[in-house]
Structure 1
Amino acid sequence: MSDVTKATTTRAGGVLAATCISTLVVNANTSAVSILLPAISEDTGMSVTTLQWAVTGYSLVGAAVIVTSGSLGDVFGRKRIFQLGLLLFVASCILIALAGSGGMVIAGRVIQGAAGATILACGLSLLSVANEGDAQLRAVSLWGAAAAVGAAAGPLVGGLLVGSTGWQGLFWIDAGIAVLCMVLTYATVAESRDPERPRSIDYAGTALIALTLVPLILGVSESGDWGWFSARTLGCFAVSVAAGYAFVVVERRVPVPLLDLALLRNRVLVGSTIAILIGAGTINGLMYLLSLYFQDPAALDFSPLQAGLATLPATVGLVVVAPLVPKLAAKIGARQTIGLGFLLTTAGFVVVGLVDASWAYTAFVLPLVAIAVGMGLSNGPASSAATASVAEEQVGAASGVSNMARYVGAAVATALAATIYGTVIGNQTGDGAAAGDALASGLAAAAWMMAVFSFLGVLMALVMARHRLAKGTLADAAASAAAHTHTLPTSATTHAEARRTP
C-alpha cells in the first residue's frame, strides 16, 4: 500500500470515527432527556409541564436549522460548520450541567437543538465526500447504525447516570466526548464545499419556520391554562398562520429556497413526509409520557434507571425490527408495509388508552412491542419513499423535507401530548379523583390522541402512489434502522446523491 493510499485510508477512518461517534452521542442525548425531566424538575423547582420545552424547544430549533446548516456547510465549508456544531453542543452541555434553574436547562436545550441538527447534517455530508463507491455505502451505513444505536441506548444511559452521577452527568460526559470529536475532526477531516451551489442562504425561511412553530407550540402548550378559544391562544395561532403564509411567499422568491414548493405536488413525497411526521411525533410523545408516568410515585414509582429499562421494548424493538423491513417492503409493497405498520401502532396506542391505575408494568409490554414493530414497519419505507420518488437533482431537497418533518412532528406532538396529559390530570384532581386515577386518565387521553394520528397514517398509506422500492440490501437495513432519526439514501435512491443529503 502506498503512502498516499495509507494517508487517504487513515483520513477516511478518522472522518468515520468523528461523524459516527458524534451522531451516536447526539441521538443518545436527545432520547435520554425525557428520562431526566423528573430529576431536573426536583432540582430546579420547575414543573415537568414547563420543562417539556426542553424537549419541544430542541425539536423546534432543529426543524428550523436542519436544512440551513447543510446549506451553510456547502457554502462556507462542511468541516467548519460541523466544528461549529460540535462547539455549540459542548457549550450547551456545559450550560445545562451548570444550570441552577429550569429556564437555563431549556435555554441550553434550545442551543442544543441547533447544534444537534448541524452535527447530523454536516457530519453525513463530510462522511459522504470522504469516501467513494462501496466505501461510501459502507460508511453511510455505519453512520446510520450509530444513529439508531444512540437513539435506542439514550433512555437507558440517562437512567443509569441519574442514579450514579446525577442528571448533570450525562451532559458533562457528552461535552467531553464532543471535545474529543472536535480534536479528531481537526486532525483527520479535510475541508470541503459544493462549488456548484449558489452562495445564497435562505435565512428568512429559517426564521419564518421558527416563527411559525414557536407560537403554535406555545398556544398548544398553554391552552390548558388559557383556554383553547382565549384571545392569547387564538393570537398565537394567528401569528403562526401569518408566519406560515409569509414563509410560502418568501420561498417563492428566494434564489435557493429552504423548501422547494414544487415538491409539494409530488403525492408520494407528501405522503411519506406525513408518515414521517406522524411517526416521529407519536414515538417522541410516547417516550415523553412514559418517562413521566413510570417515575411518578402515584403510578409505578420507578427509579430513572428502571424507567430507562422499561422503555427498552419500544426503543430497542424499533431498532431490531427495522432492518428486516426493506425485504418485506420489496415483497408486499411499501404502501402496504407502511399501512400495516401504522395499523399495529394504532392498536398499541388503543391498548395504552385503556390504562387504569391498577396496571403493573407487565401490562404495558405488549402494546409497547406492537408500537415498536409498527414504527419499524412504517419508518423505513416512508423514509425510502421520500428520496425514491423524486428526480436525482431533487434527492437532497426531498431528504431535507423529510428530516425537517421529523423535528416538526416531535415538537408539535410532544407539546400536544404534554398538554392533554397535564390538563386531564388537573381536571381529574380538581374533581377529587385519586392521584393514580388522574395520572392514568391523563395517559389514556394522550394515548387516544396518538392512536387517532396513527390511524391517519393508515389512511395516508392507502392514497400514496407507487414509487421505486429498495432492494433490501444491508445498506437498506441500516437506513431503515436509522429512519426514525434521519433519512439516508437507499438502493432506491441514486447513490451519488448521498453526499448532498442534508
Structure 2
Amino acid sequence: MTDVAQQTAKTRGVLAATCISTLVVNANTSAVSILLPAISEDTGMSTDTLQWAVTGYSLMGAAVIITSGSLGDVFGRKRVFQVGLLLFVASCVLIALAGSGGMVIAGRVIQGASGATILACGLSLLSVANSGDAQLRAVSLWGAAAAVGAAAGPLVGGVLVDITGWQGLFWIDAGIAVLCMLLTAATVTESRDPDRPRDIDFAGTVLVALTLMPLILGVSKSGDWGWISTPTLLCFGIAVVAGFAFVAVERRVSVPLLDLALLRNRVLVGATIAILIGAGTINGLMYLLSLYFQDPATLDFTPLEAGLATLPATVGLVVIAPLVPRLAARFGGRQTIGAGFAFTAAGFVAIGVVDASWQYASFLLPLVAIAVGMGMSNGPSSSAATASVAANQVGEASGVSNMARYVGAAVATALAATIYATVTANHQDDGESTADALAAGLAAASWVMAVFSLLGLLLAVVVIVRHRPARGTLNDAAASAAAHLHTLPTTASQPPSAGSGGTSAPDGPT
C-alpha cells in the first residue's frame, strides 16, 4: 500500500471511529429518559429519584467537557479518547448489571464523564487528521452523526426495551464502543499541542461540580424539604460559595477553565444563556413526556410507542435545523433566535393547558412548534457565540457554550422533575384522580419551560446585538443540525487552528 493510500485509510478510520462513537454517545443519552419507567419497575427506585440518572450525567459532563479536551492536548488526544471509550464501556456494563437504582445512577455519572471526553477529544482528533475543505466535511459528518444519534435514541431505546429489556441498550453500546477502541488503536495517530502549557485547571473542574451538585440537590428535594427549609437553603448556600470560589480560582490559574474576560462580551454571554435555555427546555420536555406518555393512568404507552411519540420533537428539530442558516443570513441571527423562542414558548403554553382527556393527537402540534422553535434558535445562538469573539478565542467560546448545554440540561431536568412530582402529589392529596394530578404536574412544568423560552426571546431582542451571520453553506447546515448538542464551526467565524482544549473548531472560511 502506498503512503497516500495508507494516509487515506487512516483518515477514514479516524472519521469512522469518531462519528460512530459520537452517534452512540448521543443515542445513549437521549434514550435513557424512555427507559426510566422500565428501570424503575425493575429496581424498585422511584422515577423521581431516577431523574439523577439524567441530571447526574449532565452535571458530570458540564464539569469534564473542557478539562478532558485540555488533558488530550497535554497527554495525547488519542490516549484520552481511548480512556473515554474505556470508561464508557465500563459504565455501560455497570448499568446493565445493576441490581439497584443507585448503581444505575452511579453508572450514568461515570457515563457523563466518559461521554464528554469522547465528544471533546473525538472532535479534536478529527480536526487534526484533516485540513482545509476535507476538515470541514469531516466535522460536518461528525455533527450529522451526533444529530442522528440524538434523534434516533428514544426510538432505539423503545425498541430494545421490548426485545432485550432496558439492559440491552447498554450491552449493545458497550460492544460498539469496544469496536471503536480497536478501530482507534489501528488507525488513529497520537497528537498533542506542544505549545499549550501543561497546567490543568482541576480545581475549576471540581468547583463546577460542587456548584451544580448542591444546586440540583436543593432543587430536586425542595418538594420534600420545602423551598425555605434549612437543608434546601444550605444546599443553595454551598452552591453560591462554590460559585464564588470558582471565580476566585479562575482569576489566579495560568490556564483557566473559563476565561472570565469572555464574560464581558455581551453577545457571547447572551448567546450562551440562550444555548443553556434551549438545551434545558428540550431535555426537560423529553424527560416529562417520556414519563407522562408511559404512565398507566394517562396514555399508557409502551416504551416503543413513547419513543415513536417523541419523534416529532427529536426528528423535527434535526430536520428544520439545516434550513435555519439561510433564514438567519436573510433576516438576521437575532431575529431568527427570537422567532425560535417565540415558537418554543407557544408550544409549551399549549402543553400548559393539558388535561387528563388529551390523547396523543393533542400533543402533536405543540411538539412540532417546539421542534421548529428549537431548530430556529439553537443554530444561530451557537453561531453567534463563536462569531462574537476574536479568531484566537473561538475554541474558548465553543467550550463555554458546550458547558452551558450540560448545565442547562442538568438544572432544567431537575427543576422539571421536581415541579412535575410535587404538583402531582399535591393534587392527589387534594383528592384528584391520578390522571388529573399527572396532567396538572405536566402543565405546571410546561408553564415554567414557557417562561424560560420567553426569557430567551427577551435575550435575543435586548442582548444579542448585531454579529457576523453564517452564509448558509452545507457545512453551516450540518453545524446547525448538531447545535443542540455541540458547537461546530460556521462561516460566521474564522476559528483558530484545531485542537485547542479539545473544543476548538477546525479552520474554516470567514
Does the C-alpha gap of structure 1 residues 497 and 471 become closer, same or farther in structure 2, counting only changes over 3 Å?
farther
Tell me if 1:117 matches 2:116. Answer: yes
2:86 and 2:471 map into 1 onto residues whose CA distance is: 39
The residue number in structure 1 matching 2:401 is 402
Q: Write the mapping of 1:174-189 to structure 2, written as runs, cut at 5 A.
A: 174-189=173-188
| Consecutive unaligned residues in structure 1, runs of 5 or more | none
The residue number in structure 2 matching 1:483 is 483
Give 1:164's aligned amino acid.
Answer: I
The residue number in structure 2 matching 1:278 is 277
1:150 and 1:449 map into 2 onto residues whose CA distance is: 28
Q: Write the mapping of 1:117-196 to structure 2, written as runs, cut at 5 A.
A: 117-196=116-195
Give 2:459's aligned amino acid.
Answer: M
Give 1:408's aligned amino acid.
Answer: V
Q: Give the drift of 1:496.
A: 4.5
The residue number in structure 1 matching 2:52 is 53
Give 1:494's aligned amino acid.
Answer: Q
Q: Give the drift of 1:277.
A: 0.1
Give 2:179's aligned amino acid.
Answer: L
Give 1:474's aligned amino acid.
Answer: L
SS in 1 for 2:20: helix
* Number of positions where the alignment pairs a residue of Structure 1 with one of Structure 2: 501
1:497 and 1:159 map into 2 onto residues whose CA distance is: 41
Give 2:318's aligned amino acid.
Answer: V
CA contact 2:45–2:101 (8 Å) conserved in 1? yes
Deviation string 1:17-55 (CA, Å, 9 cap, x unpaired) is 000000000000000000000000000000000000000
The residue number in structure 1 matching 2:203 is 204
Deviation string 1:80-131 (CA, Å, 9 cap, x unpaired) is 0000000000000000000000000000000000000000000000000000
The residue number in structure 2 matching 1:18 is 17
Q: Give the drift of 1:3.
A: 1.0
Does the C-alpha gap of structure 1 residues 497 and 374 become closer, same or farther in structure 2, counting only changes over 3 Å?
farther
Deviation string 1:209-253 (CA, Å, 9 cap, x unpaired) is 000000000000000000000000000000000000000000000
Tell me if 1:264 matches 2:263. Answer: yes
Q: Give the drift of 1:282.
A: 0.1
Q: What is the aligned-residue RMSD (CA, Å)? A: 0.7
Q: Give the drift of 1:495.
A: 4.7
The residue number in structure 1 matching 2:474 is 474
SS in 2 for 1:252: helix
CA contact 2:393–2:496 (8 Å) conserved in 1? no
CA contact 1:251–1:258 (8 Å) conserved in 2? yes
Give 1:426's aligned amino acid.
Answer: A
The residue number in structure 2 matching 1:379 is 378
2:205 and 2:251 map into 1 onto residues whose CA distance is: 14
SS in 1 for 2:350: helix
2:468 and 2:259 map into 1 onto residues whose CA distance is: 21
CA contact 1:66–1:118 (8 Å) conserved in 2? yes
Q: Give the drift of 1:466.
A: 1.1
Q: Give the drift of 1:499.
A: 3.7
2:426 and 2:496 map into 1 onto residues whose CA distance is: 55
The residue number in structure 2 matching 1:346 is 345
1:495 and 1:216 map into 2 onto residues whose CA distance is: 34
CA contact 1:488–1:498 (8 Å) conserved in 2? no
Q: Give the drift of 1:4.
A: 1.2
CA contact 2:392–2:496 (8 Å) conserved in 1? no
CA contact 1:341–1:374 (8 Å) conserved in 2? yes
The residue number in structure 1 matching 2:69 is 70
CA contact 2:275–2:404 (8 Å) conserved in 1? yes
Does the C-alpha gap of structure 1 residues 496 and 255 become closer, same or farther in structure 2, counting only changes over 3 Å?
closer
2:202 and 2:495 map into 1 onto residues whose CA distance is: 29
Identity %: 80
CA contact 1:72–1:78 (8 Å) conserved in 2? yes
SS in 1 for 2:252: coil
2:46 and 2:360 map into 1 onto residues whose CA distance is: 25
Deviation string 1:58-95 (CA, Å, 9 cap, x unpaired) is 00000000000000000000000000000000000000
CA contact 2:392–2:495 (8 Å) conserved in 1? no
CA contact 1:159–1:308 (8 Å) conserved in 2? yes
Give 1:81's aligned amino acid.
Answer: V
SS in 1 for 2:442: helix
Deviation string 1:307-339 (CA, Å, 9 cap, x unpaired) is 000000000000000000000000000000000
Q: Give the drift of 1:493.
A: 1.8
Q: Give the drift of 1:494.
A: 1.5
1:241 and 1:475 map into 2 onto residues whose CA distance is: 40
| Consecutive unaligned residues in structure 2, runs of 5 or more | 504-510
2:113 and 2:433 map into 1 onto residues whose CA distance is: 41
2:227 and 2:495 map into 1 onto residues whose CA distance is: 48
CA contact 2:275–2:405 (8 Å) conserved in 1? yes
Give 2:120's aligned amino acid.
Answer: A
Divergent runs of 4+, >2 A: 495-501
Per the normalisation by structure 1, the TM-score is 0.99
2:424 and 2:202 map into 1 onto residues whose CA distance is: 41
Q: Give the drift of 1:497.
A: 3.9
Tell me if 1:494 matches 2:494. Answer: yes
1:375 and 1:263 map into 2 onto residues whose CA distance is: 25
1:498 and 1:461 map into 2 onto residues whose CA distance is: 30
2:495 and 2:280 map into 1 onto residues whose CA distance is: 29
2:55 and 2:94 map into 1 onto residues whose CA distance is: 18
